[in-house]
């Protein structure tokens, strides 16, 4: 569910017409719904209420300070993967003691920073990393809380680029090696073994792979718990969202349709996993990113040109793959809606950006209303892995971001300028 709806033919985010925002802030423009963010967090938090738990929002999915603040105010913890993300959480007013630090390549300075700030746990992805954390902690005279990331070797049946829990992936420690590494870690003086972590992939649309992974890892967790007095078990993120029919199906009762009945909800997730997790008596951590932020954001863009070739109708818009790379990178589907609802002719169209690559498209052969220069479109479900994956490719400035709360809207990131892009570069001193 989300709060992007047509009101009198105008697409709104909560109580604000997106066209008003496009005029005021320009395009391309990311717009986030605060209410959607908070409600998604609350849904998962409530579903997991029967166990001691902490929802740690995956900062990588959307790291805008205003988004992080919204979640911190809801009581969220954070899953971070760099010193930069920890700095963001702190700048947003979040609590470092509710942060879990993941990632296969933590540097010494990142480990130092996280130790000084007192993160809840380092989710460790190799024995070499364990040694390094122990050494850094020793130098700082601190005890580092750690959890090993178990790779359960379970196929998540998701896109190859976002599968993480099989031995084909670089992530985690092979299931069979985990116990021996805990035993060696227990001998390292500056570590405290605090938990166990796993994450099998992203955009999972059924609960079965989660259940399979939890069932597989559970006996191991119990053995480790008995030996090392662990405190938590993190079951990772990965809850998928609906990218497809939602609003565009036009069905006001979309949530009662057959497609909707099959989707993965926090209730289904909790109903299947809680009976397995509850007997452990451990604190359960989750690291959802997309589930919370995905449908809470849209990318608004403007049609610059309409171009008809022999075969195709191209809508050339002012957003591009540098703003939202998911269609180019993962063949991802993003629903596309005009900001002003149109009736009449439907034309099969490709929505493409101005970048000089054929991969720079948002959709191909999509039935869309007849649109012309100056019309605005919204790319839905762009709140996760949207702005955070943006780049300056083709020297295109990063888009602006806006947060909406009811009838209020605030710019939460100013549009970058070309001057800012050039500011850090210089000509080599020996140039003629």
The residues of the shown chain that bind ligand LLP, judged by CB under 6 A, are: 58, 61, 79, 102, 162, 164, 199, 202-203, 236-239, 287-291, 326, 330, 384-385
Q: What angle do CA 323, 325, 330 make, to 5 degrees?
A: 165
Two structure tokens written together for 275: 């009976």
At closest approach, how far in Å is the CB of 100 from ligand LLP?
A: 9
Asked about 356 being catalytic, the answer comes back as yes
DSSP 3-state of 347: strand
HSE of 22 in the Cβ direction (CA atoms, 13 Å)?
25
Query: Measured on CA atoms in the order 128, 131, 137, 138, is the torsion positive or negative?
Result: negative
Structure token pair of residue 181:
């590494």
Question: What is the distance between the alpha carbons of residues 234 and 210, in angstroms, rounded to a whole number?
Answer: 12
Q: From the CB of 241, what's the least distance to ligand LLP, in Å?
A: 9
Structure-token pair, residue 161: 């680029």
How near is the Cβ of 288 to ligand LLP at its closest, in Å? 4
- Of 143 and 162, the one with the shorter C-beta distance to ligand LLP is 162
Residue closer to ligand LLP by CB (options 195, 289) is 289
Q: Is the peptide bond before 329 cis (omega within 30 degrees of 0)?
A: no
- Going through 258-355 in order, the beta strands assigned E by DSSP cover 283-286, 297-308, 313-317, 336-338, 346-352
Helix (H, G, I), strand (E, B) or coil at 213: helix
In 25-47, which positions are buried (b, 16+ CB within 10 angstroms) versus exposed (e)?
bebbbbbbbbbbbbbbbebbbeb
Question: How far is residue 335's CA from residue 244's CA, in Å, rounded to a whole number?
Answer: 6
Query: Of 13, 56, 99, 356, which residue is the catalytic one?
Result: 356
Which one, 61 or 405, has the nearer CB to ligand LLP?
61
Of 195 and 236, the one with the shorter C-beta distance to ligand LLP is 236
Report the residue number, 289 or 338, with the smaller CB distance to ligand LLP.
289
Q: List residues with catalytic annotation.
A: 356
């Amino acid at each position: 569910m989300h709060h992007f709806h047509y009101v009198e033919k105008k697409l709104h985010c909560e109580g604000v017409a997106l066209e008003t925002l496009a005029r005021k802030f320009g395009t391309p423009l990311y717009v986030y719904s605060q209410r959607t963010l908070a409600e998604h967090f609350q849904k998962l938090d409530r579903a997991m209420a029967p166990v001691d738990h902490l929802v740690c929002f995956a900062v990588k999915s959307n790291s805008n300070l205003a988004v992080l603040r919204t979640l911190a105010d809801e009581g969220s913890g954070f899953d971070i993967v760099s010193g930069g993300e920890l700095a963001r959480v702190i700048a947003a007013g979040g609590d470092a003691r509710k942060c879990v630090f993941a990632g296969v390549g933590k540097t010494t300075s990142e480990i130092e920073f996280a130790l000084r700030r007192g993160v809840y746990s380092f989710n460790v992805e190799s024995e070499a990393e364990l040694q390094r954390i122990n050494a850094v902690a020793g130098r700082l005279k601190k005890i580092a809380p750690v959890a090993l990331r178990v790779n359960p070797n379970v196929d998540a049946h998701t896109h190859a680029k976002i599968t993480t829990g099989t031995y084909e992936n670089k992530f985690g420690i092979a299931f069979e090696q985990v116990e021996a590494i805990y035993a060696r870690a227990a001998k390292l003086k500056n570590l405290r073994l605090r938990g166990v972590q796993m994450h099998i992939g992203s955009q999972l649309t059924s609960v079965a792979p989660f259940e399979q992974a939890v069932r597989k890892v559970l006996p191991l967790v119990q053995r480790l718990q008995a030996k090392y007095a662990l405190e938590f078990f993190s079951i990772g993120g990965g809850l998928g969202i609906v990218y497809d029919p939602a609003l565009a199906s036009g069905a006001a009762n979309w949530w009662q349709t057959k497609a909707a009945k099959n989707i993965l909800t926090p209730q289904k997730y909790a109903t299947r996993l809680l009976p397995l997790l509850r007997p452990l008596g451990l604190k359960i951590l989750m690291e959802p990113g997309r589930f919370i932020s995905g449908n809470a954001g849209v990318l608004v863009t403007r049609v610059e040109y309409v171009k008809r070739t022999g075969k195709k109708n191209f809508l050339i818009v002012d957003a591009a793959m540098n703003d939202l790379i998911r269609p180019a990178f993962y063949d991802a589907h993003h629903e596309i809606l005009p900001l002003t609802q149109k009736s009449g002719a439907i034309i099969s169209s490709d929505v493409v950006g101005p970048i000089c690559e054929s991969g720079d498209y948002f959709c191909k052969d999509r039935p869309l209303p007849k649109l012309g220069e100056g019309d605005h479109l919204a790319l839905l479900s762009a709140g996760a892995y949207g702005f955070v994956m943006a780049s300056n490719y083709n020297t295109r400035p990063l888009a602006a971001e806006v947060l909406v709360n009811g009838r209020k809207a605030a710019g939460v990131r100013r549009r970058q300028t070309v001057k800012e892009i050039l500011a850090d570069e210089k000509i080599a001193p020996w140039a003629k």
